[in-house]
Chains A and B, each alone.
Chain A
Amino acid sequence: MPVAVAPNTTEHPPPPRRPAVLAAGRVCVDYPGVRALDCVSLGFGLGEIHAIVGENGAGKSTLMKVLSGFSRPTSGGLILDDRPVSFARPADALRAGIAMVHQELNLVPTLTIAENILLGREPRRGVLKLAVDGRRQRREAERLLALLGAELDVRREARHLSVAEAQFVEIARCLASEARILIFDEPTAVLGERETSRLLALLRRLRDEGRAILFISHHLDEVIDVADRASVLRDGVLVAEFARQRRGAHPIDQPHHAPRAPHSAPLIAVGDPRERPITEGTLAESMVGRPLGSIFPPRRPTCQRPGDASAPRVPRLVLRALRPADAPFADASSSNAGVELEIAAGEVVGMAGLIGSGRTELAESVVGIRRALGAVILEGQPRRFRTLREAMGAGVVYLSEDRKGRGLHLSLSSIANTTLPSLNSFSQLGGLRIDHRAERAVTRRWIDELAIRCARPSEPIATLSGGNQQKFALARWLHTRPSVLLLDEPTRGVDVGAKEEIYRLIAQLAAEGLACLVISSELPELIGLCDRVVVMREGRLVGELSREQLDWHDAEVRLVRLASGLSAAAESA
Chain B
Amino acid sequence: MTVDSSNRPRSPAPTHPPRQTRFSFAGVLERWGVLAAFVLIFTVSAAKQGGDFLNVENFRNLLNQNAPVGILAIGMTLVIVSGGIDLSVGSMLVLAAAVGTTTMNALIGAGWSELPAVALGAAAAIATGVAAGSLTGGLIVLGRINPFIATLGGLAAFRSIALAMAQAGEIRSQSATIFRMLGTGGVPLPGLVNNAGKPLTLSWSTVIMLSIAVVAQWFLSRSRYGRHLVAIGANETAARYTGVAIGWVRFRAYVIMGGLAAVAGLVQSSRMNSVSTSQLGIGSELDAIAAVVIGGTSLRGGFGRVWGTVVGVLILGMITNFLTISGVSPYWQGAVKGAVIVLAVLVQRSSADR
Residues in A whose Cβ lies below 8 Å from that of B240: 369, 388, 406
Q: Which residue of A lies closest to B241 (CB)?
A: A406
C-alpha gap A36/B294 in the complex (Å): 34
C-alpha gap A436/B227 in the complex (Å): 12
Give the interface SS of chain A, mostly helix, strand, loop or mixed.
Answer: mixed
Interface string of B214-249 (1 = CB under 8 A from A): 000011001111011011001101111111110000
Q: How many A-B residue pairs have CB under 8 A?
A: 110
Cβ contact of A39, chosen from B9, B22, B224, B239, cutoff 8 A? B9
Residues in B whose Cβ lies below 8 Å from that of A172: none
Residues in A whose Cβ lies below 8 Å from that of B22: 32
Q: Please state if B6 and A33 are interface contacts (CB–CB under 8 Å).
A: no
Q: Please state if A412 and B234 are interface contacts (CB–CB under 8 Å).
A: yes
Q: Which bucket holds chain A's interface residue count?
A: 35 or more
Q: Please state if B238 and A409 are interface contacts (CB–CB under 8 Å).
A: yes
Does A202 belong to the interface (CB within 8 Å)? no
Q: Please state if A424 and B2 are interface contacts (CB–CB under 8 Å).
A: no
Cβ contact of B231, chosen from A237, A398, A409, A424, cutoff 8 A? A409
Interface string of A423-436 (1 = CB under 8 A from B): 11001000111101
Give the interface SS of chain B, mostly helix, strand, loop or mixed.
Answer: loop
Q: How far is the CB of B31 from chain A (nearest CB, A)?
A: 14
Does B24 belong to the interface (CB within 8 Å)? yes
Residues in B whose Cβ lies below 8 Å from that of A408: 235, 238
Q: How far is the CB of A289 from chain B (nearest CB, A)?
A: 5
C-alpha gap A412/B239 in the complex (Å): 12
CB under 8 Å from chain A, chain B span 302-317: 302-303
Cβ contact of A433, chosen from B4, B9, B18, B222, cutoff 8 A? B222
Does A548 belong to the interface (CB within 8 Å)? no
Q: Please state if A369 and B20 are interface contacts (CB–CB under 8 Å).
A: no
Q: How far is the CB of A324 from chain B (nearest CB, A)?
A: 15
Q: Please state if B234 and A423 are interface contacts (CB–CB under 8 Å).
A: no
Q: Which residue of B lies closest to A28 (CB)?
A: B11
Cβ contact of A239, chosen from B6, B222, B231, cutoff 8 A? B6
Given contacts A38-B10, A39-B11, A237-B10, contact A388 B241 (CB under 8 A): yes
C-alpha gap A494/B63 in the complex (Å): 53
Q: How far is the CB of B36 from chain A (nearest CB, A)?
A: 22
C-alpha gap A400/B239 in the complex (Å): 12
Cβ contact of B21, chosen from A11, A32, A423, A432, cutoff 8 A? A32
Residues in A whose Cβ lies below 8 Å from that of B222: 432-434, 436
Q: Which bucket holds chain B's interface residue count?
A: 35 or more
Interface string of B111-155 (1 = CB under 8 A from A): 000000000000000000000000000000000000000000000
Residues in A whose Cβ lies below 8 Å from that of B302: 409, 411-412
Does B50 belong to the interface (CB within 8 Å)? no
Does A238 belong to the interface (CB within 8 Å)? yes
Q: Please state if A237 and B237 are interface contacts (CB–CB under 8 Å).
A: no
Q: Please state if A38 and B241 are interface contacts (CB–CB under 8 Å).
A: no
Does A389 belong to the interface (CB within 8 Å)? yes
Residues in B whose Cβ lies below 8 Å from that of A38: 10-11, 14
The listed residue with most B CB atoms (<10 A of its CB), out of A398, A432, A436, is A432
Does A471 belong to the interface (CB within 8 Å)? no
Q: Please state if A32 and B231 are interface contacts (CB–CB under 8 Å).
A: no
Does A261 belong to the interface (CB within 8 Å)? no
Does A4 belong to the interface (CB within 8 Å)? no
Interface string of A484-517 (1 = CB under 8 A from B): 0000000000000000000000000000000000
Does B196 belong to the interface (CB within 8 Å)? no
Given contacts A33-B18, A434-B224, contact A412 B241 (CB under 8 A): no
Q: Please state if A369 and B21 are interface contacts (CB–CB under 8 Å).
A: no
C-alpha gap A410/B233 in the complex (Å): 12
C-alpha gap A455/B243 in the complex (Å): 28
Q: Which residue of B lies closest to A34 (CB)?
A: B18
Does A240 belong to the interface (CB within 8 Å)? yes
Does A234 belong to the interface (CB within 8 Å)? yes
Q: Please state if B223 and A407 are interface contacts (CB–CB under 8 Å).
A: no
The listed residue with most B CB atoms (<10 A of its CB), out of A237, A409, A436, A455, is A409
The listed residue with most B CB atoms (<10 A of its CB), out of A32, A235, A400, is A32
Q: Please state if B238 and A431 are interface contacts (CB–CB under 8 Å).
A: no
Q: Which residue of B lies closest to A435 (CB)?
A: B222
Does A290 belong to the interface (CB within 8 Å)? yes
Does A452 belong to the interface (CB within 8 Å)? no
Residues in A whose Cβ lies below 8 Å from that of B14: 38, 235, 237
C-alpha gap A398/B238 in the complex (Å): 12
C-alpha gap A387/B241 in the complex (Å): 10
Q: Which residue of B lies closest to A32 (CB)?
A: B21
Q: Please state if B241 and A409 are interface contacts (CB–CB under 8 Å).
A: no
Does A317 belong to the interface (CB within 8 Å)? no
Does B198 belong to the interface (CB within 8 Å)? no
Residues in A whose Cβ lies below 8 Å from that of B20: 33
C-alpha gap A237/B4 in the complex (Å): 10
Residues in A whose Cβ lies below 8 Å from that of B9: 39
Does A420 belong to the interface (CB within 8 Å)? yes
C-alpha gap A240/B7 in the complex (Å): 10
C-alpha gap A34/B20 in the complex (Å): 9
11 A-B pairs with C-beta separation under 8 A: A32-B19, A39-B10, A369-B240, A388-B241, A398-B241, A408-B235, A409-B235, A412-B230, A420-B244, A432-B219, A434-B222
- Chain A interface (Cβ within 8 Å of chain B)? 11, 28, 32-34, 38-39, 234-235, 237-240, 289-290, 369, 387-389, 392, 398, 400, 405-412, 416, 420-421, 423-424, 427, 431-434, 436, 455, 476
